[in-house]
Amino acid sequence: MQPLIRVIDDDQMLASAGRCLHERGWWHGPNAVEPILIDALGNELRTLIEDDRLHRAGIGRDLEFQLDREVRRDRIFWLDRKQPAQAAFLEQMEQLRLSLNRELFLGLFEFEGHFAHYPPGGFYRRHLDSFSGAANRIVSVVTYLNRDWRDGDGGELVIFARDSCQVAATVQPRAGTMVLFLSEEIPHEVLPSRNDRVSIAGWFRLNASIGNQIDPPR
Ligand code: OGA
Ligand code: MN
């Protein structure tokens, strides 16, 4: 299959992603994902939204899990292989996992990811993606599906430098852009969106869940 995510087979892009992840903990690739895949994913997500299949996202895991509208206001749907675009995306993530392992010797073991819809006013306050003690989410990957996103629509992803309050980058959530960062090290935040904002947030994990104890509730 022709790679629909360029970083998989574009040696230069892959090397740059690997170097950035290693040296500063994050990488940002505009046009990293082919429009044909972005549009197919966007269509599947739109139908899921219309059918009311998304649910409110929470924070923390298991007993600590809570729905906190002051921390995040997005709705999510965990990707599965039942629909073709999601199946294709998951297959591409499998290829990316192998590429990153070759490039960085990370030993990434599996991928999990969900669609996210931030309605107007939606945000996600500054956070890390790996919960303390879990140590299983290693690399975060966010893919944006927003066609015709304009400056002024808000919803930027703010990436902070490692262990710091300093802003390292502000990323517009435009269709085709992909961001990779180290889940345990890079704090980040989604600024309030003024428009419907759609994306896929995912994680390459080091280990399968241990007796389902460290999985986020689905
Ligand atoms: C997340 C997240 C960032 C984004 O879902 O954990 O940080 O830009 N998403 O959607
Ligand atoms: Mn996050």
At 82, the pLDDT band (50, 70, 90 cuts) reads very high
- Tokens 């802003």 belong to residue: 167
- CB 48 within 8 Å of CB 115: yes
Please work out whether the CB of residue 198 comes within 6 Å of at least one atom of ligand 1.
Answer: no
For residues 116 and 188, give the distance between their C-alpha atoms in angstroms, rounded to a whole number: 16
Please work out whether the CB of residue 190 comes within 6 Å of at least one atom of ligand 1.
Answer: yes
Given a cut of 50, whether residue 87 has pLDDT beyond it is yes
At 211, the pLDDT band (50, 70, 90 cuts) reads very low
Rg (CA), the chain: 16
For residues 139 and 10, give the distance between their C-alpha atoms in angstroms, rounded to a whole number: 19
For residues 70 and 213, give the distance between their C-alpha atoms in angstroms, rounded to a whole number: 26
CATH 3.40.1410.10 fits 6-205, yes or no: no
- CB 153 within 8 Å of CB 122: no
Task: Find the largest Cα–Cα distance for the chain.
Answer: 45
Q: How many residues are there in the chain? A: 218
Q: Where are the domains of the chain?
A: 6-205
Q: Name the 3-class secondary structure at 90.
A: helix
Lowest mean pLDDT among 135-139, 169-173, 201-205, 214-218: 214-218
What residue type is 59 in one-letter code? I
Atom 9 of ligand 1: nearest residue by CA position? 201
Please work out whether the CB of residue 159 comes within 6 Å of at least one atom of ligand 1.
Answer: no
- Report CA(204)–ligand 1 centroid distance (Å): 14
Q: Which residue has the higher pLDDT, 34 or 214?
A: 34
Long-range contacts of 7-11 (CB under 8 A, 24+ apart): 7/32, 7/96, 7/99, 7/178, 8/92, 8/95, 8/96, 8/99
- Helix 84-104 to helix 11-23 angle (10° resolution) is 70
